[in-house]
Amino acid sequence: MTEHTHNDFQFLDVLRKEPKRKALGKRKREFIEIYNIFEPERATEQAERCLDCGNPYCEWKCPVHNYIPNWLKLITEGRIFEAAELSHQTNSLPEVCGRVCPQDRLCEGACTLNQTGFSAVTIGSVEKYISDTAFAMGWRPDISHVKSTGKKVAIIGAGPAGLGCADVLVRNGVTPVVFDRNPEIGGLLTFGIPEFKLEKTVMSRRREIFTEMGIEFRLNTEIGKDISMQQLLDDYDAVFMGMGTYTYMQGGFPGEDLAGVYDALDFLIANVNHNLGFEKSADDFISMKGKQVVVLGGGDTAMDCTRTSIRQGATTVTCAYRRDAENMPGSRKEVKNAKEEGVRFLFNRQPIEIVGNGKVEGIKVVETELGEPDARGRRSPVPIAGSEEILPADAVIIAFGFRPSPAPWFEEHKINLDNQGRVVAPASGPYQYQTNNPKIFAGGDMVRGSDLVVTAIAEGRGAAEGILNYLKV
């Protein structure tokens, strides 16, 4: 083990550095992760920049409250297995969060160094390094000391919420059985997020690890079709629902029904299925090769669509967003990568109509300026009269976000919804994330609305605590 002498002023001598990226020309053509893993020396060097604050803002800003300064310190000491163990105490998918979390809005955004002009510690990249390196060295979570309680819980959905719930349950002696309609675990981690951000071997490896821990997966199984909810309630001590949000939000303007207009999720899922060989028909694939593509929206899903279109061989790719760059909800890092890969950004452009004769030929937008803040504190875009223009387009991808897709059997089993179609399962109350049906719990996007991977993990883990209390184990 290499010995390192800690330098409290490392941040003065060493600048923030991300792992090296693959060559631009190569990454624009391939569906592979663009960031290489840190070399051990670089990971240690970056971890040593941490000030080890007495009140770690990074930890509190993280939805799962990772022990960030603690595992950074372990990396500086070369104690990779202990760092992996510690990171798994709070996060069920640290190697995923290290790749896809918008750290600039969470832990790194809250880093004290970031507030003082020295640039944040590269927390996300080190988090990825810890798990990937430990796994490669043979480390696995050790739950050999856990005694079975004899209890079983059915989990609907193998996305981040369901996996977070299963992880906590199995570590406490409860057997989780996870049902998912897809052929692989991960939900949108596998079938929505493109491979240039998250290669799918990450999730297949994670399935193997969870299986070794005692989590059972029943894939290609849809509740309400292949097995009834009532059967789950009869056969299991409790049920957790982590089914996500899959219904896309429309813009409500003319032309959305024209040929060549696509929902972001349909486009991304079709691309992943094509790459993984899961597509049922060649006609399912949506190709942007040779097309002028306009993506509407400013979040991470919009960035995924723009960068996927680049890799598919689109002639031009434009992202139109109705607010300015500062107010884009997506990760700054993803916007930077998209620009470098050739995406053109048009800010302060609000779509008002998709035009064409039977198929998309363009999209009419109006320039906006920011007005007064809305109910969430964000300044609302106000159209500027007479500023309309038509952007040429052969394809338009709508990435305005997603809303819940309540199952038809919810009402039968007394699963209440709010006025936005979200499952009512409060974090407070006798048992965390319990629905109106005392045996059913829920968490993640279907409860809070579309949000981050890490918030879904946090809610799944919180729901597991509620279930453990409910089962009195």
Q: What is the pLDDT of residues 361-404, one digit of tens each?
A: 999 999 999 998 877 778 889 999 999 999 999 999 999 999 99
Q: pLDDT tens-digit profile of 259-310?
A: 999 999 999 999 999 999 998 898 999 999 999 999 999 999 999 999 999 9
Confidence of residue 143 (pLDDT cuts 50, 70, 90): very high
Q: pLDDT tens-digit profile of 118-128?
A: 999 999 999 99
Q: Is the pLDDT of residue 186 over 50?
A: yes
Query: Which residue has 């006609």 as its token pair?
Result: 283
**Least confident among 198-207, 226-235, 295-304, 325-334:** 325-334
CA distance to 99, 123, 149, 162, 462, per residue, from 92 (Å): 14, 17, 21, 10, 12
- Other Cβ atoms closer than 10 A to 230: 11
The rounded mean pLDDT for the chain is 95
Q: Is the pLDDT of residue 2 over 50?
A: no
Cα 144 to Cα 138: distance, rounded to the nearest angstrom: 16
Which residues have C-beta within 8 Å of that of residue 472, sequence separation ≥ 6?
Answer: none
Cα 301 to Cα 280: distance, rounded to the nearest angstrom: 24
CB 180 within 8 A of CB 158: yes
Which residues have C-beta within 8 Å of that of residue 94, sequence separation ≥ 6?
Answer: 66, 87, 88, 127, 128, 130, 131
Q: Kindly report the pTM of this predicted structure.
A: 0.94
Angle between helices 80-90 and 123-136 (to 10 degrees): 110
